[in-house]
Each structure stands twice: as C-alpha cells, then as structure tokens.
Amino acid sequence: MKRFLVTFSIVVILVVIVCSVGVELLGTSHVSSNPSQVAPPLPILMYHIISPWLPSFSDENRSLTVTPEDFSAQMTYLHDNGFTPITLKELNQIWQHKQSMPAKPIVLTFDDGDHGVYQYAYPILQKHGFHFVLFVITRWTTVHTAFYMEKADILDMLRSGLVEVGSHTRNHVNVLKAFPLRTLWEVCISRSDIRRLLNYDATSFCFPSGGHNKIAITALRICGYTMATTTAGGLVDVKQSHYLLKRIKIDGADRLQDFISKVTVPPGQ
C-alpha cells in the first residue's frame, strides 16, 4: 500500500509538472486584438474581518479588522461616486466580451468567511445593492464557531443574488509550502465542498497567505477554476494572468482619505 501511494504521488507530480509546462506555452490570459476593446484596469479590494475593535486587539488584529462604521463610510463613498461593485464571475464575462463593463467597476473580496461579514458588512452591501465575493475555508462552513459564518448565513446571502462564493482551500493551506498532491487535493476538494454544501459552482479561488506556484495554478485549471486572487498589491487588467490577480488591501487603520486614494484609478491607466 505504501509503495502504491508513493508511486501514485510521483505520477501526480509528473502530470502536474507536464501541465505546468503547457500552461506556460498556452499563456494565461486573453487579450483582444482590438486595443479599443481592451478593458481598463480596475481595483480588487481585499477585506478580512468586519467587526468593532476590541481593547485586546494586537496591531495585526487592528490591521485585519475594519470597523462597521468605517466600512459603511467606505461603501457610501463608492455609492455616491458612481462605483459599480462586480463579482469575479462578472469580471471574467466582461474580459471575454460577454458582458459590458460599467463605467467605474470595482471588486470587493472578503477572505476566510468571518462571521462579521454576514453580521456587519452584508446589511450595508445589501442596502447599496453591491455585488461582492466571499472566499470560504470549507472545513469551517458546517462548524459553528464564534469566528466563521455558518452554512445558513452563506445560503442567506446567496439567495440575495449579490454574492459570489469562492474557495480559500479546505484548511487554509499555503500551497506554496504544500506537497503537490496536497495542493491538488485542497484546491479540488474545496470546490467540491462548496458544490455539495451550497449547491453552488465556485469558479474563483483565493490563495491563502498569497502563496502560489505553477503547480497550484495548474491544479486550478484541472479543477475548473477560471480566476484566482493573490495578496500582491496593484490594479488588475485583462493582460494579467487570471490566476494571479492582484488586490488592494484595506487596512483597519485606513482613514477615509486613504481608502479614496486606494480606489482611485490614475488617469490614463
């Protein structure tokens, strides 16, 4: 049995390596041959926790946690200034010229499945009719904890038609540090979990801690994902790899002016 597992692992590694070479040869994105049809760059925002600050919070806790008051002010700014939040599924359709691009598009993403996103952020997003993306760690989707939202919470948001659910692996594994077979399993089983638990077809993925490599990108393709986000900072456009989308972190210490600077796309870009 042990010899079989070793042999199987070697075969999987070889297949993934061969596929990785294919990914490099085939390219990672589609660019229109007509420059006038190339979609302009846009920001993808990265949030983690939406919750009041506690006196016991460390600097890291404060950095990852945006208060409901600050989040509300940020969403009001987007609404009042003509931004249209879209999902990654919608962005993929836009880049394939199957859907029109709004005048000021932006993507709102929330990592981990923090319960505060449902308790505090969702009512605000719902008030404005904003679309958003939730990346869940599927291991915790059926477990009631004080931190992660429950399956019922996610289903409630799905019924609104506002949220796209994506994978953040089953166990929040940094695939850059994982054995190739573990990477393939985490990527594929989490997508299967989402389909089984939520009856939802997840096509977007978020790399935990931003870790990624060619093997992980190949696993995404094999398992049926079309988009993936990292923690690298910057705007995104159709010319980038759709499996290495940059994002802009919204820090809990950001003032409203900091937020405005982060979402403003410089002229000419």
- State whether the Cα torsion 123-126-130-133 is positive or negative: positive
Region class of 210: left (phi > 0), else alpha (psi between -120 and 50), else beta: left
pLDDT of the residue at 90: 98
The arithmetic mean of pLDDT across residues 81-101, rounded, is 97
Residue 112's contacts (CB-CB under 8 Å, 6 or more residues apart) are 48, 49, 135, 136, 137, 148, 168, 172
Tokens of 145: 């904890």
Q: Give residue 195's pLDDT band: very low, low, confident or very high (50, 70, 90).
A: very high
pLDDT tens for 46-79 read 999 999 999 999 999 999 999 999 999 999 999 9
Q: What b/e string do you get for 121-151 counting C-beta neighbours within 10 Å, with b at 16 or more?
A: bbebbeebebbbbbbbbbbbbeeeeeebbbe
Q: Does 87 score more than 70 pLDDT?
A: yes
pLDDT of the residue at 86: 98
pLDDT of the residue at 171: 86
- State whether the Cα torsion 201-48-120-146 is positive or negative: positive
The region of weakest confidence among 99-108, 121-130, 165-174, 199-208 is 165-174
Share of the chain above pLDDT 90, in %: 70
Tokens of 139: 């291991």
pLDDT tens for 221-248 read 999 999 999 999 999 999 999 999 999 9
The region of weakest confidence among 14-18, 106-110, 161-165, 218-222 is 14-18
Q: Does 10 score more than 80 pLDDT?
A: no
What is the domain partition of the chain in residue ranges? Answer: 41-165+233-263
pLDDT of the residue at 209: 83
**Domain 41-165+233-263 in CATH: superfamily?**
Glycoside hydrolase/deacetylase (3.20.20.370)
pLDDT of the residue at 23: 42
- State whether the Cα torsion 224-211-31-84 is positive or negative: positive
The arithmetic mean of pLDDT across residues 117-133, rounded, is 98
In the chain, beta strands by DSSP E = 44-47, 49-50, 65-66, 84-85, 105-112, 132-136, 163-167, 204-206, 227-233, 245-249
**Mean pLDDT for all residues in the chain:** 86
Nearest to 223 by CA among 256, 260, 195, 245: 195
- Which residues make beta-bridge pairs with 117? none
User: Tell me, what amino acid is at 60?
Assistant: E
CB 119 within 8 A of CB 127: no
CB 172 within 8 A of CB 208: yes
